[in-house]
């Protein structure tokens, strides 16, 4: 009795809290375009590509800055400087002396130096570095574009997968309802003596199997939704409701494309291929930049400096002598020094370090070229495969619809015979399974066509991205 009271107590306390939390679960209805926009705002790959693009812009500014003069300045104020030592001649007494005098000087000084240098020649390393930075900046723009396209394609895949799983769940529920209705009919027929107990048990088992199919479909739908939420990077507890996709517009078979012409056109549109080509060019300029260390460097240097003594005194043989100086401003103005110099430096031998750097840059250039060629060949192969799969998807839809038409007619005929007692359970079960599989096949074929269309657009570099949509994450 005490346990029941405790259980009821905690139930009354925590039940309102759980209901409140369930009521606070965010629910969002989204279209495919909105899902893509949210993913583009939140995707880590897009954010990383954007950060790299910003960094390449900073590196480009640094390369431009290498053509400008470098300016450095230094200032020093010494409020107290004390020097102690001996001298063999008195600065106060004319003539030579053989005695050593102990001295102590104390001063306060200020000095300022400004230096500017302009590189006139460094083996064209600065020019090569600028060209490298320009290519890498352009490549980062294309890489960002491709990252956005990849996110849009990934979200599209899972958006269609959720819609497909929703329809498959609906078909499974309809099949379960049909089996349950048939169980009620079989039960009545068994009561009237038209069906055996074996038929009743088999139909009960069929209902249980269909119920299990509904549970599996619900589990698959839940997983698909969570995968979509993962790619949107929104709150995991968010309940998503997706708007239906317009699939009718893509079910018209296109004219047979010229595959070779499409491959050539796609190679010009693929952003990652453009980025790869620019990175290959940048590696070529990088070789020139490193090779510039073999040549001499010439710098034009201009410097200006001035200093002043605020106070100066010396103690000699216990007597302090103060030396008056003009004002600090006057000293700084009249004591200004400047120099213009042309500096030449040339590393004759550096222990083969430059040779090592050049060879390393050459290997990196060859690897970039190989990556570019491999990507180009891979795009051509993937595109031909995508075109073939896209064309096959239309045939799959036609075949699935014909199969559904035949399966539906067969099931209707067997069902009528079963209701009249002229057909057995096995024949009915086989025809119903065929009908269920045919309905599922048609639905899968339609969404497979949509996915193949999205894959073809992504492979050919024609993925539509809603970059201008003002959709905020939630």
Q: Give the tens place of pLDDT for each residue, 386-400.
A: 999 998 998 898 899
Residue with the bigger pLDDT between 345 and 26: it is 345
The stretch 308-334 carries a mean pLDDT of: 84
pLDDT score, position 467: 39
Residue-level pLDDT at 473:
36
Which tokens sit at 120?
A: 């006139």
Q: What is the mean pLDDT of residues 303-329?
A: 85
What's the confidence (pLDDT) of residue 95?
Answer: 56
CB-based contact 221:215 (threshold 8 Å): no
Instruction: Specify the pLDDT at position 369.
Output: 95
Q: How far apart are CA 430 and CA 407, in angstroms?
A: 10
pLDDT at 25: 56
Mean of the pLDDT values across residues 270-281?
94
- Cα 254 from Cα 390, distance rounded (Å): 10
Which is higher by pLDDT, 203 or 150?
150
pLDDT of residue 469: 40
Choose between 238 and 65: higher pLDDT: 65
CATH of the structural domain 28-68+122-296+351-459, one choice from 2.130.10.10, 1.25.40.10, 1.20.1600.10, 1.10.150.20: 1.20.1600.10
Task: Write down the pLDDT at residue 195.
Answer: 72
Look at residue 17 and tell me whether its pLDDT is greater than 60.
no
Mean per-residue pLDDT for 337-363?
Answer: 92
**Average pLDDT of 245-258?**
74
- Residue 136: pLDDT band (50, 70, 90) is very high
Lowest pLDDT segment from 126-130, 298-302, 343-347, 469-473: 469-473
pLDDT in tens, 440-467: 998 899 999 999 999 999 998 887 664 3
Res 63 pLDDT > 90: yes
pLDDT score at 41: 93
- Listed residue (424, 396, 425, 430) closest to 410, CA to CA: 430
pLDDT given for residue 22 in this prediction: 43
pLDDT tens digit string along 146-195? 999 999 999 999 999 999 999 999 999 988 888 888 788 778 877 877 77
Domain with CATH 1.20.1600.10 in the chain: 28-68+122-296+351-459
pLDDT band for position 372 (50/70/90)? Answer: very high
In this structure, of 28-37, 193-202, 403-412, the range with the lowest mean pLDDT score is: 193-202
Can you give the pLDDT at residue 471? 39
Residue 243, pLDDT > 80, answer yes
3-state secondary structure the chain: CHHHHHHHHHHHHHHHHHHHHHHCCCEEEECHHHHHHHHHHHCHHHHHHHHHHHHHHHHHHHHHHCCCCEEEEEEEEEEEEEEEEEECCCCCCCCCCCCCEEEEEEEEEEEEEEEEEEEEECCCHHHHHHHHHHHHHHHHHHHHHHHHHHHHHHHHHHHHHHHHHHHHHHHHHHHHHHHHHHHHHHHHHHHCCCCCHHHHHHHHHHHHHHHHHHHHHHHHHHHHHHHHHHHHCCCCCCEEEECCCCCHHHCCCCCCCCHHHHHHHHHHHCHHHHHHHHHHHHHHHHHHHHHHHHCCEEEEEEEEEEEEEEEEEEEECCEEEECCCCCHHHHHHHCCEEEEEEEEECCCCCCCHHHHHHHHHHHHHHHHHHHHHHHHHHHHHHHHHHHHHHHHHHHHHHHHHHHHHHHHHHHHHHHHHHHCCCCCHHHHHHHHHHHHHHHHHHHHHHHHHHHHHHHHHHHCCCCCCCCCCCCCCC
pLDDT at 330 over 90: no
pLDDT of residue 92: 55
**With pLDDT > 70 as the criterion, what percentage of the chain qualifies?**
89
More confident residue, 99 or 127: 127
Looking at the predicted structure, is the pLDDT value of residue 346 above 70?
Answer: yes
Average pLDDT score over the chain: 85
């Amino acid at each position: 009795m005490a346990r029941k009271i405790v259980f009821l107590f905690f139930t009354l306390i925590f039940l309102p809290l759980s209901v409140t939390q369930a009521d606070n679960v965010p629910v969002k209805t989204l279209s495919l375009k909105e899902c893509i926009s949210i993913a583009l705002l939140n995707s880590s790959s897009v954010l990383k590509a954007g950060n790299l693009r910003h960094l390449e812009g900073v590196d480009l500014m640094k390369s431009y800055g290498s053509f400008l003069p470098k300016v450095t300045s230094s200032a020093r104020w010494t409020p107290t400087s004390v020097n102690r030592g001996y001298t063999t001649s008195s600065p106060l007494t004319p003539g030579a002396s053989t005695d050593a005098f102990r001295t102590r000087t104390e001063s306060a000084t200020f000095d300022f130096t400004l230096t500017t240098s302009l590189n006139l020649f460094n083996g064209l390393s600065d020019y090569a570095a600028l060209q490298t930075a320009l290519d890498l900046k352009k490549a980062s723009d294309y890489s960002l574009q491709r990252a956005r396209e990849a996110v849009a394609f990934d979200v599209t895949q899972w958006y269609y997968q959720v819609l497909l799983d929703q329809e498959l769940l609906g078909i499974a529920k309809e099949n379960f309802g049909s089996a349950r209705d048939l169980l009620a009919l079989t039960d009545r027929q068994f009561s009237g003596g038209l069906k055996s107990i074996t038929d009743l048990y088999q139909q009960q088992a069929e209902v249980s199997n269909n119920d299990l199919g509904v549970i599996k479909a619900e589990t698959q739908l839940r997983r698909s939704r969570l995968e979509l939420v993962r790619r949107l990077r929104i709150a995991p507890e968010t309940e998503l409701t997706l708007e239906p996709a317009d699939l009718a517009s893509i079910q018209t078979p296109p004219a047979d494309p010229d595959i070779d012409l499409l491959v050539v056109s796609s190679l010009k549109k693929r952003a990652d291929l453009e980025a790869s080509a620019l990175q290959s060019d940048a590696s070529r300029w990088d070789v020139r930049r490193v090779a510039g260390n073999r040549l001499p460097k010439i710098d034009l240097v201009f410097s200006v400096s001035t200093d002043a003594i605020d106070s100066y005194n010396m103690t000699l043989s216990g007597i302090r002598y103060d030396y008056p100086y003009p004002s600090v401003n006057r000293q700084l103005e009249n004591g200004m020094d400047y120099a213009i110099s042309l500096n030449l430096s040339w590393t004759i031998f550096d222990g083969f370090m430059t040779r090592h750097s050049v060879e390393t840059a050459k290997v990196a250039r060859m690897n970039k070229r190989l990556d570019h060629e491999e990507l180009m060949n891979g795009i051509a192969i993937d595109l031909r495969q995508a075109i073939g799969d896209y064309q096959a998807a239309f045939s799959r839809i036609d075949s699935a619809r014909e199969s559904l038409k035949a399966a539906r007619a067969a099931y209707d005929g067997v069902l009528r015979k079963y209701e009249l007692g002229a057909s057995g359970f096995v024949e009915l079960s086989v025809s119903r399974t065929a009908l269920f599989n045919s309905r599922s096949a048609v639905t899968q074929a339609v969404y497979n066509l949509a996915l193949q269309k999205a894959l073809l657009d992504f492979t050919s570099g024609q993925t539509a991205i809603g970059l201008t949509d003002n959709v905020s994450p939630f």
